[in-house]
Structure 1
């Protein structure tokens, strides 16, 4: 499918008889880059973390309950080396029980069921260990962080190098998944409740 980019401009002319004055104008320009260096992200296990059936009797009444940690493997394969970024999107935004955590959805529309935290572990870029970065300002500045968080970007730097994303052709890393259920006395557990966490990992290009 072909994509077309167009440059648009708008001008106006106001005539005041008997003289014609040049009216103020402004330009709108559409820019962008189409790159052949596409990257494909893949998660092991189909990207599913299954905690099976959990008895409500096993949940803490007055504090949150930590479920067993799980690990998935993320791979990102690119046509050639490029300094891509990972953008995690919380599809249950607002339902997490802590700041910068992904949500597990709601019970009865307003009871926050719990949260998910995702940690990057042992990342390898083209077979070499690297360190994860995070940006809270759309990639203008970066700092070291091993955790993914909603409304942030993640990238990778050379070990001990500057805090700048490096070009990578093949990334392989473990993702440690920490799932937490809200305190049971804040939830309506009279019926079966399905954990409903959903996170999209989107690849962005600089």
Structure 2
């Protein structure tokens, strides 16, 4: 079960005055998800990774230039112990040219891709459940849970990562989850960009907590 943290209220009205015998209808849908508890994710530093001013001279005109890998720690706090997983949705996916399912976009300059980055929560990166070490496990859709090896995140929410007691492949219930992601950006070749103007990196991704 997943919880999008949004309540959608939609209505469709059909109005007709063509006939006194016409049957007019209106449909109202009220949808949502009731979860046994609620969890709130928070990122350190407000969830912003700032690379500051990047000198043009440090970038290659012919190949993508990797930037320094940064880390971002997070805490997910739940009202009561519950098994959860996380997935990601990239709001700039159209700019992640050539990145495949694990490439997140850094935005566009006109129609040109500024670059892309990867997100990875790796085994041994210190993930915990209620302060104790946990193993990272993942699955794609309804496939069986498997141990996380590389840790790369999917940019369209297809893969869910969860937390298991060490040595197991079953999501375990905790109240407080912590972990750290690696963020590894690369800038597109400068020959594909207009370097006469400043360019602002514009990566934006959303972590969704999924109740299992």
Q: What TM-score, normalized to structure 1?
A: 0.77
Alpha-carbon distance in 2 for matches of 1:106, 1:170 = 37
Matches within 5 A, 1:99-178: 99=100, 100-108=102-110, 110-120=111-121, 121-137=125-141, 139-145=142-148, 146-151=151-156, 152-162=159-169, 164-178=170-184
Alpha-carbon distance in 1 for matches of 2:139, 2:104 = 17
Alpha-carbon distance in 2 for matches of 1:134, 1:150 = 14
Alpha-carbon distance in 2 for matches of 1:79, 1:53 = 41
Q: Following superposition, which runs of at least 4 residues in structure 1 exceed 3 angstroms of deviation?
A: 30-33
Offset at residue 123 of structure 1 (A): 0.5
Deviations 1:41-67 (A, max 9, x none): 000000000000111121012211111
1:13 matched to which residue of 2?
A: none
Structure 1: gaps of 5 or more residues: 4-29
Aligned length: 175
Highest Rg: 1 or 2?
Answer: 1
Partner secondary structure for residue 94 of structure 2: coil
Alpha-carbon distance in 2 for matches of 1:202, 1:105 = 21
Alpha-carbon distance in 1 for matches of 2:91, 2:205 = 6
Structure 1 residues 160 and 96 mapped into 2: Cα distance closer, same or farther (>3 Å)?
same
Structure 2: gaps of 5 or more residues: 1-6, 8-29
Offset at residue 94 of structure 1 (A): 2.3
2:80 matched to which residue of 1?
A: 80
Offset at residue 31 of structure 1 (A): 9.2
What RMSD, in angstroms, separates the aligned Cα atoms of the two structures?
A: 2.0
Offset at residue 33 of structure 1 (A): 5.4
1:12 matched to which residue of 2?
A: none
Deviations 1:144-176 (A, max 9, x none): 3322221222212222212x3221211111122
Matches within 5 A, 1:3-152: 34-97=34-97, 98-99=99-100, 100-108=102-110, 110-120=111-121, 121-137=125-141, 139-145=142-148, 146-151=151-156, 152=159
Alpha-carbon distance in 2 for matches of 1:31, 1:160 = 38
Alpha-carbon distance in 2 for matches of 1:142, 1:94 = 29
Partner secondary structure for residue 147 of structure 1: coil
